[in-house]
Amino acid sequence: MVFMVRMRFLSLAKYFEKLELTSGRIEMTNILVDLFREAKSSEEIAKITYLLIGEIHPPYIGLELGLSEKLIIRSIAIAAGYDNKEVEDFLLKVGDIGKVAEEFISKRKQYSLYIEELTVEGVYNTFDKICRISGEGAITDKVNYLSGLLINADPLEARYLARIADGNLRLGVADMTILDALSIAFGSKEWRKDVEDAYNVMPDIGKIASIIYSGGLEAIKNVDVTIGIPVRPMLAERLQSPEEIWEKTGGKLILEYKYDGERLQIHRDNDNVYIFSRRLENITNQFPDVVEVVKRNIHGERFIVEGEAVAVNPETGEMLPFQVLMHRKRKYDIDRIVKEIPVTLKLFDVLYHEDEGSLIKKPLLKRRKLLERMVEPDDSISLSEMMIPNSIDDIWKFFHLAIEAGCEGLLCKSAGEESIYQAGARGWLWIKFKRDYRAELTDTLDLVVVGALYGRGRKGGIPSSFLMAVYDKENDVFKTVCKVGTGFTDEQLQLMDKMVREYRLDRKPARVESIMTPDFWIEPKIVLEITAAEITISPVHTCGYGVIEDEAGLALRFPRFTGRFREDKAPEDATTEKEVIEMFRMQRKIIG
Ligand code: ATP
């Protein structure tokens, strides 16, 4: 008989504890390398990585645990033999469900006759079952499964089981850190670029981990787009003027309207259509009308296309701003909303087609031609407006037309042989040119909240300003760039108070680099849109530190919240340090 050795969940919990106590990104990577080397199989390493980020399934699968705090409290009470009320009161006191589970399991009154040692596989599979239970009796079954795990748990295991159940593991480990550690654990640092390329077309950390475990670099290099798994979106750089755009692209470009809607990546696999958001979540339920249109107006049975869904006025057909679409986020009554806020789909790319296979390495014009052949346009679907400019003047003309039509500006896309689809990258193959050009900073920034500060006076007991950070993609850390306390309405401050309380930390998160110390730290999760007057040199911020001047970084002057919470962006999608440095250089060029 072959006896399969499995990793104990207790070993994983001990790694979790170590990770929780680290204060630096490098140390965190080293711990992960040790952990990955302990994995016993490709299935096990996938499960370890999902548990590490506290997600049983990646967001594109659309399966969630569905355990409320109340249910977790009930499970702890059952497993330890206490009343719900006792558990609840203790939670009110300590505020961390993990600590509560740990405490009650350590003083449990109830012991199971047969304590079963928890394994990573067993824990993962039980959480998976919890995700899949639905219908009548679902609540009772979910509680039974979770209390079943807790009955067999050590106090340390209980801490992490409860936090995973609550969707709040707080280890500060993100996908990029895992990619680093995987490269080192099974190959070398040199693998990192290929591993990231693979992740960009298959952003499923568990799948990447098991591919690298079983097939090494060769298998990683063979990863390609797959129907059903969303590709990380290609993004645009920005420039200030048509002159610069012309120069940067050598005049070999196409122009497209930049629609102000929601980006959709649409996968069709015969009768199944899946729609993914910019953050790669499965949002098919929000767009039953788009599903219909895709089946009706796009030729082919198996393909991946991308476009922007734009809300339109049902009477006039005029395009409406992005905010209107937010009403689609509701779970109920979607049929009514679909009628009240119809959308038109503006397709701009195709990434896979049954006859051609993967298209991401093909030049843009070839992809666009195929897309033209695939689509039967009508009021609800068409290709993005496009033109091939012959001069800088053409760019201006098309820009004014775009604004007139209610768009944000233009996307200027390189049309040379090199114009592949760069999954997950913000590169110069796409350049955006937006309307708010030259008003204050050319563009807004999307920044991550990493700390909160209390104000004096009217705002009293709730934080009144926030320490904001950019993302340093190369090092996978967050660096501060300003404090922002302007632009919030009272309601928005209340909302921020609620949100930051959920992510509050007593120590600096390992992936945040900061000179300032806020009143309390916040796990990088919340992304806000910020405008500012300009970028200045600052000795107290870590963004761009040492790049422009030796002992100083860059900061935003007069930063202001625009009122837009960028829930469609993960912290790693925030404005990068590199972009701010570029914006600073552009500003110098203009102002001199
Ligand atoms: P923003 O905050 O300006 O929306 P972003 O970070 O979401 O920026 P950008 O790289 O700045 O993304 O701009 C690309 C976005 O513009 C795409 O994600 C897409 O949603 C939208 N878009 C609108 N029209 C087009 C088009 N014709 N081609 C590509 N993207 C388009």
341 occurs within a structural domain? yes
Say whether both 392 and 468 belong to one domain.
no
What average pLDDT does this structure show over 459-480?
A: 90
Tell me the whole-structure pTM to 2 decimals: 0.82
| Run of H or E residues at 418 | none
* pLDDT reported for residue 518: 94
4 occurs within a structural domain? no
From the CA of 258, how far away is ligand 1's center (Å)? 7
From the CA of 418, how far away is ligand 1's center (Å)? 20
83 occurs within a structural domain? yes
Say whether both 410 and 261 belong to one domain.
yes
Say whether both 297 and 418 belong to one domain.
yes
Pocket test for ligand 1, best of 231, 232, 234, 235 (most atoms within 8 A of CB): 235
Q: Which of 176, 178, 163 is nearest to 502 (CA)?
A: 163
Distances, alpha carbon 6 to alpha carbons 12, 157, 233, 412, 536, in Å: 11, 16, 37, 52, 54
What average pLDDT does this structure show over 317-328?
A: 80
**Ligand 1 atom nearest residue 444's Cα:** 2
Say whether both 459 and 352 belong to one domain.
no
Pocket test for ligand 1, best of 254, 256, 260, 263 (most atoms within 8 A of CB): 263
Residue 318, SS3 per DSSP: coil
From the CA of 408, how far away is ligand 1's center (Å)? 9
CA-nearest residue, atom 11 of ligand 1: 236
**What's the CA gap between 4 and 123, in Å, rounded?**
16
Q: How confident is the model at residue 297 (pLDDT cuts 50, 70, 90)?
A: very high
| Residues with active-site annotation | 258
* pLDDT reported for residue 435: 66
From the CA of 345, how far away is ligand 1's center (Å)? 14
Q: Is the pLDDT of residue 352 over 90?
A: yes
Domain with 29 in it: what CATH number?
A: 1.10.3260.10
545 occurs within a structural domain? yes
Q: Give me the percent of the chain exceeding a pLDDT of 70.
A: 95
Give the residue with greater pLDDT, 321 vs 35. Answer: 35
CA-nearest residue, atom 20 of ligand 1: 263
What average pLDDT does this structure show over 450-455?
A: 89
What average pLDDT does this structure show over 410-416?
A: 96
The range of the structural domain enclosing residue 262 comes to: 235-436
Say whether both 457 and 554 belong to one domain.
yes
1 occurs within a structural domain? no
What average pLDDT does this structure show over 370-381?
A: 96
Q: Is the pLDDT of residue 331 over 80?
A: no
Residue that terminates a domain, selected from 409, 436, 463: 436
Pocket residues: Cβ below 6 A from ligand 1:
233, 235-236, 256-259, 263, 278, 308, 348, 384, 411, 432
CA-nearest residue, atom 30 of ligand 1: 258
Say whether both 541 and 431 belong to one domain.
no
Say whether both 358 and 425 belong to one domain.
yes
Q: How confident is the model at residue 438 (pLDDT cuts 50, 70, 90)?
A: very low
Q: Is the pLDDT of residue 4 over 70?
A: no
Say whether both 478 and 575 belong to one domain.
yes
62 occurs within a structural domain? no
Q: How far apart are the first and last CA of the chain?
A: 76
| Run of H or E residues at 344 | strand 343-353
Q: How confident is the model at residue 237 (pLDDT cuts 50, 70, 90)?
A: very high
Give the residue with greater pLDDT, 460 vs 450. Answer: 450
Pocket test for ligand 1, best of 238, 254, 258 (most atoms within 8 A of CB): 258
Say whether both 192 and 281 belong to one domain.
no
334 occurs within a structural domain? yes
Q: Which of 107, 106, 100, 111 is nearest to 74 (CA)?
A: 100
* pLDDT reported for residue 340: 85
Residue that terminates a domain, selected from 149, 166, 183: 166
What average pLDDT does this structure show over 302-316?
A: 91
What angle, rounded to 10 degrees, do the helices at 205-221 and 175-186 form? 50
Q: Which amino acid is at 21?
A: L
58 occurs within a structural domain? no
Residue that terminates a domain, selected from 380, 407, 436: 436
Say whether both 466 and 348 belong to one domain.
no
Domain with 343 in it: what CATH number?
A: 3.30.470.30
What average pLDDT does this structure show over 445-466?
A: 83
Say whether both 157 and 181 belong to one domain.
no
Tally of structural domains, the chain: 4
* pLDDT reported for residue 460: 58
Say whether both 255 and 389 belong to one domain.
yes
From the CA of 260, how far away is ligand 1's center (Å)? 8
* pLDDT reported for residue 539: 83
CA-nearest residue, atom 5 of ligand 1: 235
Q: How confident is the model at residue 441 (pLDDT cuts 50, 70, 90)?
A: low
Mean predicted lDDT score pLDDT of the chain: 92
Q: Is the pLDDT of residue 1 over 50?
A: no
* pLDDT reported for residue 436: 59
pLDDT tens-digit readout, 480-504: 999 998 899 989 999 999 999 889 9
Out of 84-93, 307-316, 469-478, least confident range: 307-316
Domain with 523 in it: what CATH number?
A: 2.40.50.140
